[in-house]
Amino acid sequence: MEEGRSERTVPSRRWSDRKEKQMPRSEVDWPNEVTYLQILDADGKVDEDLEPDLPKETLIKLYKTMVLVREFDAARLRLQRQGEIGTFAPSTGQEAAQLGSICALKDSDWFVPSFRETAAQVWRGAKLENDLLYVAGFEEGMALPEDTRDLPISIPVGSQVPHAVGIAWASKMRDEDTVTMCYFGDGATSEGDFHEGLTFAGVFEVPVVFLNQNNHWAISVPRERQTASKTLAQKALAYGIPGVQVDGNDVLAVYAATKEAVDRARDGDGPTMIEALTYRMGIHTTADDPTKYREESEVEKWRERDPIDRMRVYLMDKGHMDEDDDEAWREEAKKEIKAAIERYRDNVPDDLGSMFEHTVAERDPYLERQRKELMDYWERAGVEVGH
């Protein structure tokens, strides 16, 4: 697992074996470099030559957000197991990949998530109680202000990729120096939407950064059965887009690579794709049982590369925090979560008719008739929310 890469290798393509059977050909010269970046090693030791220049407050905020979201995953899991909320996709293990990247954006930049970016969403200012409302099954949790620069999560895998390209394109059309960052998983790279989105991004040179979280699994399908390509980063080259790999559990490497890509986009030099090598430490969603398809020993190996642990070592080495801080911040996080759960519980809606809202702008009389029929029925029959 040197340098955060999976030990597993893709099936040998037997390319070179056939070399002697082939006739001599000229080689085509094309930009085919893929690079790999790591700054904190597996133990949290920093490569000082590469260390990015991040202010202490930012570093601490990053660490605290990691801790908060890790705790939030645990809290949500408890609520889910108690039946209070529905299915969700935990970020656990991927905090560095999400936060190291999202922190390179400005507020005025656009954020296009997949469905597993709770950490990034929280960094962008999402309220935990809204997440809970949504996961508990209330559309009210999805409310986004009209001037938002965050898209809602995208559940159909990969389908958000062209949206991000379109958003970035509009910014370019208006000559704004706004960047769009788009998240997706390793599995998503197999979808046609990934391909079409990156094709457009390459042709129109839009200011977008594609942030691939290669967490090595798409539900039960391991990375090496997802595609025969050796890296995911190299896929970018098919679109004339640079592709880079980073240690995705190394918050500094993720930040540095993303910052370069964001700057590049902002300067009008086009898109970049970053493959952040990370790992889905837990379940895919609460409906999933990973013991069906993967070995605990693999998970164990990745546990040794935990992004939070590595950052803690780094911050302690730098003297930015100590054990007491750590304890205090964790308590703070728990308190914040507890308060959010209370706010969510205090705000649980009880109306049903709202399901008819926000279909289209105007009210269609026939739909209004359906609404009335149903509301009258609910009233008569005593049908309630969550029944």
Ligand X SMILES: Cc1ncc(C[n+]2csc(CCOP(=O)(O)OP(=O)(O)O)c2C)c(N)n1
Residue 196 interacting partner from a copy of itself, Mg ion, ligand X, none (CB closer than 5 to 8 Å by kind) = a copy of itself
Rule CB under 8 A: which of 107-136 touch other proteins? 110, 134, 136
Whether residue 174 lies in the annotated active site? no
Residue 104, CB half-sphere, CA atoms under 13 Å: how many? 30
Residue 55 interacting partner from a copy of itself, other proteins, Mg ion, none (CB closer than 5 to 8 Å by kind) = none
CA angle 309, 314, 317 (to 5 degrees): 125
Pairing of strands 221-222, 217-218: antiparallel
Helices 56-81 and 307-317, interaxial angle, to 10°? Answer: 150
Q: For residue 205, state whether it binds a copy of itself (rule: CB under 8 A).
A: yes
DSSP annotation of 92 reads T
The amino acid at residue 184 is F
SS3 of 56-74: HHHHHHHHHHHHHHHHHHH
Tell the smallest beta-carbon distance from residue 221 to Mg ion (Å): 9
**Which range touches ligand X (CB under 6 A), out of 65-73, 128-136, 210-218, 375-383?**
210-218
Residue 378 phi/psi, 5° resolution? -55, -40
User: Choosing from 76, 116, 284, 310, which is the catalytic residue?
Assistant: 284
Radius of gyration, alpha carbons of the chain? 23
Q: Which of 191, 196, 189, 203 is nearest to 276 (CA)?
A: 189
Q: For residue 139, state whether it binds other proteins (rule: CB under 8 A).
A: yes
**Which range touches other proteins (CB under 8 A), out of 8-16, 40-48, 118-126, 183-191?**
183-191
Q: For residue 361, state whether it binds other proteins (rule: CB under 8 A).
A: yes
Q: For residue 219, state whether it binds ligand X (rule: CB under 6 A).
A: yes
Q: Of 293 and 377, which has the nearer Cβ to a copy of itself?
A: 293
Residue 215 interacting partner from a copy of itself, other proteins, Mg ion, none (CB closer than 5 to 8 Å by kind) = Mg ion
State the residues that interact with ligand X by CB under 6 A. Answer: 116, 155-157, 185-188, 215, 217-219, 280, 284
